[in-house]
Structure 1
């Protein structure tokens, strides 16, 4: 099992850590032929990957002592970043605090160039993760981590609001209003994040549509949460999510219309240097009665 504590270093086309470079990656020249050090970090310009940048937004700690805090604040993934985890070669000196109390031989120091952007004062630097692990980490698929984030969400079917109300009786030809409570669990937005290895994914879920199956053979597709009915609306139809019945529910075997509301949740996720979209479907149902108007002579 992969265990360990994560530290951070900045990354660009090349990734450096106090003089250590990943095998197979070319060094990027900074001012004077070196790299711009911000404490323990190498500052890069994330808007132009691989371009050394100013250290004005980073830590100004001693380069030998360093700091465990990334330059700048805030975080968002950098699209297109290669998330392959690599072993530092050569490994840090045995006295380096990156070993976190471990010794060379009982594990190794690894780097994930899967970066996050952190904007400091006047900078847009990139931050990669450095960590110790007992066993060599395996590649992590951000899409799998995204699914884990979705599993943390509590996504429900619509909390149905409808006229006529269940237990009451509507009249054929009168407008039927349909809606749902627009909360995080019933309509969104609903957010969650998950981490696996060096990959962290954040996801945001929102309902993109609700399909109302009205029980009379007809369906209504609504792209809003709907408008709750008020007595002041009278016989005015719903402005965004409504229906009219043309025959009584007594024509159904159960004597009622079985109404089902099916939500499609669209989930946008980002992390691990990439992004994607998932969908989830949830439904709720209710029975309502609709009768003909009785005319008395």
Structure 2
């Protein structure tokens, strides 16, 4: 069974009555009866203050010989489905797709704000979504056949439809994040000296081009950028970040210029050291139906190089006698 949290439909009184008559005519279900939204035997009603209405209708009788359970769900785009032995269209234009449990479901577009009551405390980015549901066979609350509902997963019958959160999760699996390439002075593979400045930088791009994936009517655009890089010199000292990670060492900087990123005093002892740059990526996404995830998902990607540091040797420059 689908789990539904319900709120009244958004039809005005005249529209509700017309929609009820039209839709029950399409379904041609035995025993179905349409009622005006301003009241009547089916329980339809409108709130005169808010204008929110529910379309009321009685539950149709099951045809003889029909199944006692729900019928088959539709795959979208036409065809016929069934409900308790009665043939129904798999798609009802303007009202969505048959879910096999007595209702037609249509994704709300755009989605309500994240703080709307209809979310019932759920995070819109976690995968669920808000649907408009038309339940002519009494699938909704007593006397209401058209309403909004929060569904944690897409209902059956939707045409290859996934929620923005589900699409984003699949995109994250295929997102190619990387650790930046590290440039240094002294260079990896070369030799530096104790006490001389160590420069660190990268020429790697700090963000990826935005990518978009579309499934059915839902599109998700994902962006990824490096928020900062954490550097470690591999000598037991504290790691650090730099405001300028693209400033390269130039020959004119010599041995005394303080590096834009690195350590002015260099290493204190000779040895081989592993320098690590941990790229901290932030990934965000937005969708075309108003469900967004503006709080970055954080992904760490490390990269490493090896530096060799020697001790400078003192030279005996005393004149010969």
TM-score with structure 1 setting the length: 0.53
Give the structure, 1 or 2, with the largest relative contact order (CA under 8 Å, sep 6 or more): 1
Tell me the distance in 2 between the aligned counterparts of 1:134 and 1:266: 32
Structure 1's 224 and 278: CA in aligned 2 closer, same or farther, altered over 3 A? Answer: farther
Q: Is the 8 A contact 2:199 2:259 kept in 1?
A: yes
Q: Which residue of 2 aligns with 1:107?
A: 90
Q: How does 1:187-202 map to 2 (within 5 A)?
A: 187-202=206-221
Structure number with bigger Rg: 2
Structure 1's 215 and 134: CA in aligned 2 closer, same or farther, altered over 3 A? Answer: closer
Give deviations 1:49-106, integer Å, cap 9, x for gaps.
xxxxxxxxxxxxxxxxxxxxxxxxxxxxxxxxxxxxxxxxxxxxxxxxxx85645746
Give deviations 1:78-136, integer Å, cap 9, x for gaps.
xxxxxxxxxxxxxxxxxxxxx856457462242322339xxxxxxxxxxxx9xxx9942
Q: Which residue of 2 aligns with 1:270?
A: 286
Aligned-residue CA RMSD (Å):
3.5
Say whether 1:249 aligns with 2:270: yes
Q: How does 1:1-297 map to 2 (within 5 A)?
A: 24-27=9-12, 102=79, 105=88, 107-109=90-92, 110=96, 111-115=106-110, 135-137=156-158, 140-183=162-205, 187-218=206-237, 219-235=239-255, 236-239=257-260, 241-243=261-263, 244-250=265-271, 256-271=272-287, 272-276=289-293, 277-297=296-316
SS in 1 for 2:276: strand
Q: Is the 8 A contact 2:162 2:215 kept in 1?
A: yes
Say how many residue pairs are matched.
Answer: 186
TM-score with structure 2 setting the length: 0.50
